[in-house]
Amino acid sequence: PVDVKIIAGKAAHAQPRLPAILGIDLAGVVEGVGAGVTAFKVGDEVYGMTGGIGGVPGSLAEYAAVDADLLAIKPRNISMREAAALPLIFITAWEGLVDRAHVGAGKTVLVHGGAGGVGHIAVQIAKAFGATVYATGNAGQSASIAALGATAIDYQTESVDQYIERHGAGEGYDIVYDTVGGATLDASFRAARPYHGHVVSCLGWGTHALAPLSFRAATYSGVFTMLPLLSGKGRAHHGAILREATKLVEAGKVKVTLDATRYTLATVGAAHQAIVEGSATGKLVVDIG
């Protein structure tokens, strides 16, 4: 929902300079390469998180000039639409679980918002790394969370203490990934396992009391996936993460959920409205051309 936040004036850090082209993710075919680009050639099918914020033009256009470091070859076993839905959410999930929290076999992971965009990818990455995964959602999301391979927790009927007792061995979880923010991040601090727990959030934008985390001697990391686009630094790492995404997708370990509605450049406004209203189920993709 980065575009929606920009339109609403709620993302000062990401506001593009006008006139602007929005759209942070893309998938498409390489039409030309610049001097010094050796990783791609004309005709390659690629995907990436390439712009739409700050001074970097976005993907809601027929053609896009992008930094090659931000791209990777598209997985062969999925459509362009599926590939276009993956970059931001996969990179965000990977940076939190792998780069920050070092997820691995034998660890317990709690994903808040396990049926959401970042959340449903985070669940699958954690499973692929051999972790035991739990995920919060409402009652209507339990089946989709279970289908991803996680144990579903209904946050509307169970308190933090209750689900820690039932699923966290009475102590908590090795990794807690908050994809919701606000009060959910506060709850995450209480769900971290003492001494070794690690809380990660991609929406830690508010003011939060760290005492519950400190009293558990646990740690916290923030994820800000847009930093390489805004700063120009660390972009090659995004391309490297997407190469890992390609491996996992081609191995059948990660699948992205798409909303069934088809959108075009002419109906982008309707796509934004669906996000605002919360009526979408899965990632929204805009077909170009």
pLDDT score for 193: 97
Number of domains in the chain: 2
Residues 189 and 124 placed together within one structural domain of the fold: yes
Helical packing angle, 117-128 and 235-250, nearest 10°: 70
171 lies in the same domain as 194: yes
Same domain, 17 and 37: yes
pLDDT value at position 12?
A: 86
DSSP annotation string for 173-190: BSEEEESS-THHHHHHHH
pTM confidence score: 0.96
Cα(252)–Cα(149) distance, integer angstroms: 13
pLDDT at 1: 76
Residue ranges, the chain, pLDDT below 50: none
**Residue 29's domain is classified under what CATH number?**
3.90.180.10
- Which distant-in-sequence residues (6+ apart) come within 8 Å of 178 by Cβ? 112, 113, 184, 185, 188, 199, 200, 201, 202, 203, 204
Structural domain that includes position 152: 88-222
